């Protein structure tokens, strides 16, 4: 199938992108790496009247250390996340995204704005307590990643807002574990364990509409419980979605194992 017709605007600045989106009155879409949007357009699951290409906006790509965090520009490609050394957890997780060609084009901002329930970067964002910067017609605002994801493929972003940067705290200890049928497939379940400012955070992806904190596991660990106890407590709390790829029970069992592995890799006990 071919895309429905659309106007194309190559924005030279964030202001121009946001203004063009505002003028499109809810009928515009940002084009970043195109790895999720283009298939959606080709299948005519979306028919925007205008595409705003943000790829040539200067200053939006790169990973910059800043104190106990890194700032990741929206246009940072997944491959650049794999190659950087400032935030090893991000590098570990980004390795799992699709295949080489997808990592070469797909962007951090696109992945987080697209909010696929089985995508890696949203789970790292929730797992580390990341903050997202968003530009809109009225200026910029910041929000916690946990408040950004509101449903499968749904975020708190307005139709005329653009995500420009994500600030990922740098954990002192971290672990990432993922279960997918084949390497490069979207995850069935993934877990992030991150010690940030002395607190252990555990987040899961692939088990529901949005990334979730495994708060039961966090409580067990804070109370001195073992990794196995933490993983079991988290699994008990979960109500995973069943689909073609696995039953709810299967996902619960895999989630417990992914939590155990992520915590083990983090060296947390």
Binding interface with ligand FAD (CB under 6 A): 29-37, 39, 74, 97-98, 102, 106-107, 109-111, 113-114, 116, 119-120, 157, 162-163, 186
- Least CB distance to ligand FAD at residue 104 (A): 10
- Closer to ligand FAD by Cβ: residue 26 or 267: 26
Tokens 């979207």, residue located: 186
> How many alpha carbons fall within 13 Å on the CB side of residue 261?
14
- Closer to ligand FAD by Cβ: residue 46 or 242: 46
- Least CB distance to ligand FAD at residue 212 (A): 16
- Least CB distance to ligand FAD at residue 224 (A): 34
- 80-95 in b/e form (b: 16+ CB < 10 A) is bbbebebbebbbbbbb
- Closer to ligand FAD by Cβ: residue 131 or 221: 131
What letter does residue 23 receive in the DSSP assignment? H
The two three-digit tokens of residue 40, written as one number: 């959606």
- Least CB distance to ligand FAD at residue 233 (A): 27
- Least CB distance to ligand FAD at residue 234 (A): 22
- Closer to ligand FAD by Cβ: residue 89 or 162: 162
64 burial level (CB within 10 Å; 0-12, 13-18, 19+) = middle
- Closer to ligand FAD by Cβ: residue 74 or 204: 74
SS3 readout for 43-110: CCCCCCCEEEECCCCCCCCCEEEECCEEEEECCCEHHHHHHCCCCHHHHHHHCCCCCHHHHHHCEHHH
- Least CB distance to ligand FAD at residue 223 (A): 33
- Closer to ligand FAD by Cβ: residue 95 or 219: 95
Look at the chain and count its residues: 269
Tokens 């997808």, residue located: 102
- Closer to ligand FAD by Cβ: residue 93 or 227: 93
**At a CB cut-off of 8 Å and minimum separation 6, what does 243 contact?**
none
- Least CB distance to ligand FAD at residue 156 (A): 11
């Amino acid at each position: 199938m071919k895309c429905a017709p659309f106007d194309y605007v190559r924005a030279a600045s964030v202001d121009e992108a946001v203004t063009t989106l505002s003028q499109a009155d809810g009928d515009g879409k940002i084009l970043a790496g195109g790895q999720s949007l283009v298939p959606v357009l080709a299948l005519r699951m979306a028919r925007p009247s205008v595409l705003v290409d943000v790829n040539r906006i200067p200053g939006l790509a790169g990973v910059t250390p800043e104190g106990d965090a890194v700032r990741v520009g929206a246009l940072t490609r997944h491959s650049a996340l794999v190659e950087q050394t400032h935030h090893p957890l991000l590098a570990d997780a980004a390795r799992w995204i699709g295949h080489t060609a997808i990592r070469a084009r797909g962007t951090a901002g696109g992945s987080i704005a697209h909010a696929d329930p089985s995508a890696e970067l949203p789970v790292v964002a929730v797992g580390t307590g990341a903050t997202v910067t968003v530009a809109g017609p009225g200026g910029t605002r910041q929000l916690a990643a946990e408040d950004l994801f509101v449903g499968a493929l749904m975020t708190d972003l307005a139709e005329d807002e653009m995500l420009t940067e994500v600030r990922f705290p740098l954990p002192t200890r971290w672990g990432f574990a993922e279960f997918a049928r084949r390497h490069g497939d979207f995850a069935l379940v993934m877990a992030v364990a991150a010690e940030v400012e002395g607190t252990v955070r555990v987040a899961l992806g692939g088990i529901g509409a949005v990334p979730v904190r495994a708060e039961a596991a966090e409580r067990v660990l804070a109370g001195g419980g073992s990794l196995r106890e933490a993983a079991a407590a988290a699994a008990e709390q979960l109500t995973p979605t069943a689909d073609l790829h696995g039953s709810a029970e299967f996902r619960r069992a895999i989630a417990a194992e992914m939590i155990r592995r992520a915590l083990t890799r983090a060296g947390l006990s």
